[in-house]
């Protein structure tokens, strides 16, 4: 717990910390608003609200990781943790919290009246939860590569999020998977559990990747001019 508190304290050394916190709040608020305004297409697991909320936790990764450019942190024994376990753990905690909030809202919204009005099923309605789990999983892998192999990370996230999810191939599969995971026709507990496991698995894989890439220099393309200046 002490180490975790230290990770959060180090965020004040992050570059553009205020801007990143504003973006975090922005995506969280708009994610909630879009969910309540029902921006999700009926019968599809693609959800702009879930995507925005999935991005919320990812900004904490940037806050913790970018704090390592500070001269104070560069000479600190915490530097390795702040580039490996620190950002992953901070993002995981916020991601699970936001995920739980989204699940609660979704559980309240998926009613017989909602399903009848949108001409959809329980499985289709709850498949957005799986969609969010998949998005967070992908983002964890992306972030683990992003600061060290920037071009590869862009290709990866482009193919997965924009390419596959954007064209609906995976969203169709998620609806099918949701149908198989439903209990008694309307109980989404397995969908929630599988999604949570995906989030944790993404964090674990992201941590392993960050350890493997730790000694690799930070990519010049991964940071803005301000970051390069601060690291001099």
Dump the DSSP string for the chain: -HHHHHHHHGGGGSTTHHHHHHHHHHHHHHHHHHHHTT-SPTT----HHHHHHHHHHHHHHHHHHHGGGSHHHHTSTTHHHHHTHHHHHHHHHHHHHHHHHHHHHHHHH--HHHHHHHT--HHHHHHHHHHHHHHHHHHHHHHHHHTTSHHHHHHHHIIIIIIIITTTHHHHHHHHHHHHH-BTTTB-HHHHHHHHHHHHHHHHHHHHHHHHTTTSPPPGGGS-HHHHHHT-
pLDDT value of position 76:
64
pLDDT per residue as tens digits for the range 7-24: 666 666 666 777 888 889
pLDDT value of position 2:
63
List the chain residues with pLDDT less than 50. Answer: 225-232
pLDDT value of position 220:
64
pLDDT per residue as tens digits for the range 96-123: 999 999 999 999 988 888 888 877 889 8
For the whole prediction, is pTM greater than 0.95?
Answer: no
């Amino acid at each position: 717990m002490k180490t975790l508190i230290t990770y959060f304290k180090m965020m004040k050394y992050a570059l553009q910390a205020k801007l990143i916190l504003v973006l975090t709040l922005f995506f969280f608020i708009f994610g909630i608003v879009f969910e309540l305004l029902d921006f999700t297409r009926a019968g599809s697991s693609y959800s702009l609200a879930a995507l925005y909320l999935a991005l919320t936790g990812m900004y904490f990764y940037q806050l913790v990781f970018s704090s390592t450019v500070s001269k104070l942190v560069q000479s600190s024994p915490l530097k390795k943790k702040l580039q490996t376990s620190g950002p992953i753990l901070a993002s995981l905690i916020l991601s699970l919290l936001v995920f739980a909030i989204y699940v609660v809202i979704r559980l309240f919204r998926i009613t017989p009246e909602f399903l009848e009005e949108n001409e959809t099923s329980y499985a289709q309605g709850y498949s957005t939860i799986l969609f969010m789990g998949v998005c967070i999983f992908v983002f964890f892998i992306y972030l683990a590569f992003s600061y060290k192999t920037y071009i590869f990370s862009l290709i990866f996230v482009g193919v997965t999020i924009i390419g596959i999810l954007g064209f609906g191939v995976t969203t169709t599969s998620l609806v099918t998977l949701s149908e198989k995971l439903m209990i008694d026709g309307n109980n989404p507990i397995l969908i929630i559990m599988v999604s949570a496991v995906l989030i944790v698995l993404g964090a674990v894989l992201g941590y392993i990747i960050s350890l493997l890439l730790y000694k690799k220099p930070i990519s010049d393309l991964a940071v803005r001019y301000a970051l390069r200046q601060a690291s001099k």
